[in-house]
Amino acid sequence: MPAPPDDTRSFRSEVVSVRASGDDGVLLRIRPELSFPPLRAARFFMLRRADALSPAIPRPFSVYRHLADGSLEFLIKVMGRGTRALADSRPGDSLVTVGPLGRGFDTLDGDGPPWVMLAGGIGSVPFYMGIEQALAGMDGGAPVRSQDVTLVYGAAHAGFLYELEAFAALGVRTVAATDDGSFGFHGNVVQALVAQWQADRLPAEVRLLACGPERMMAAVAAVARERELDCWLSLETLMGCGVGICNGCAVETVPEGPLGAWPVAKCCIDGPVFSAAAIRLGH
């Protein structure tokens, strides 16, 4: 079993700003009391308010943006008590912060087939930095050309396409989709992806990255299997500790797959990004 990561520090951060995003989200900017080297996209922090309004167990959130002044932005969809408390925080409030945690996306290089990033609702969050890092070049590798990145961003309806304009402004091809047809393609993310292939707007061979609800992830993994495409999934499992101790984030692995003989992996320290070939979803 892997050891807990080194970055399990708990420290305070100060809320800088909170603004509404979409129908039920907020863009939360915080100033951590620690500084970090550049963070790989899809890494996350556990967050809770320092007062009694948050549940005692902090909640995991991917980093949306890591700004030059060291502040961090999170894009948060209000789901329950933990996210409500964070959304209601005010500038100057203190947050308990643990991280940065997890493994982010591997190097997004420009040497292979184009990248297609599939985002479901709030699952779009890790792709903002993912696109920035791909276009800038990672780990000394070739930058990805903007025409070789497509973001397919889907949601139940238009109000759940958080910060869509900011994603579109990154300069990659962005395909919006909604289940109810209120914006963009009428259908889900996987249907929008297939429509891109049918319209010859994507080559047959692409590399897939996905983040969204588990049903969407299972459907993406199935497409990847059928078409024999490389595919990585950033999972949003429920988490207790975020640092490998509580076993609350177990993910079933493929027997004798890329993760070896261990039957479960821990999303918090082995992920949250997994090769679709390594895990079993929807069982």
59 in Cβ contact with 82 (< 8 Å): yes
Min dist CB 110 to ligand FAD, Å, is 26
Query: Which parts of this chain interact with ligand FAD (CB under 6 A)?
Result: 44, 55, 59-62, 74-77, 79-83, 122, 125, 236-239, 272
- Which CB sits closer to ligand FAD, 110 or 123? 123
Q: Do the bridges between strand 72-77 and strand 65-66 make them parallel or antiparallel, or are there none, so unpaired?
A: antiparallel
CA-CA distance, 23 to 9, in Å (whole number)? 33
- Which CB sits closer to ligand FAD, 199 or 238? 238
Min dist CB 62 to ligand FAD, Å, is 4
Q: Which segments of the chain are extended strands (E)?
A: 10-21, 25-32, 44-49, 59-62, 65-66, 72-77, 94-101, 115-120, 149-155, 173-178, 185-186, 207-211, 231-234, 250-252, 264-266, 273-275
Query: With binding defined as CB under 6 A, does residue 112 bind ligand FES?
Result: no
Dihedral sign, CA of 183, 67, 84, 216?
positive
**Cα within 13 Å of Cα(267), Cβ side:** 21
CA-CA distance, 133 to 234, in Å (whole number)? 16
Q: Which of 266, 278, 279, 281 binds ligand FES (CB under 6 A)?
A: 266
- Which CB sits closer to ligand FAD, 62 or 133? 62
- Which CB sits closer to ligand FES, 184 or 244? 244
Min dist CB 23 to ligand FAD, Å, is 13
- Which CB sits closer to ligand FES, 37 or 80? 80
The distance of Cα 33 from the centroid of its chain, to the nearest Å, equals: 24
Q: Which of 268, 278, 279, 281 binds ligand FES (CB under 6 A)?
A: 268
Q: Which of 248, 254, 257, 264 binds ligand FES (CB under 6 A)?
A: 248
Query: With binding defined as CB under 6 A, does residue 48 bind ligand FES?
Result: no
User: Collapsing DSSP states into helix, strand and coil, what is residue 222?
Assistant: helix
Owner of token pair 């590399």: 207
Min dist CB 231 to ligand FES, Å, is 23
Residues that bind ligand FES (CB under 6 A): 239-242, 244-249, 266-268
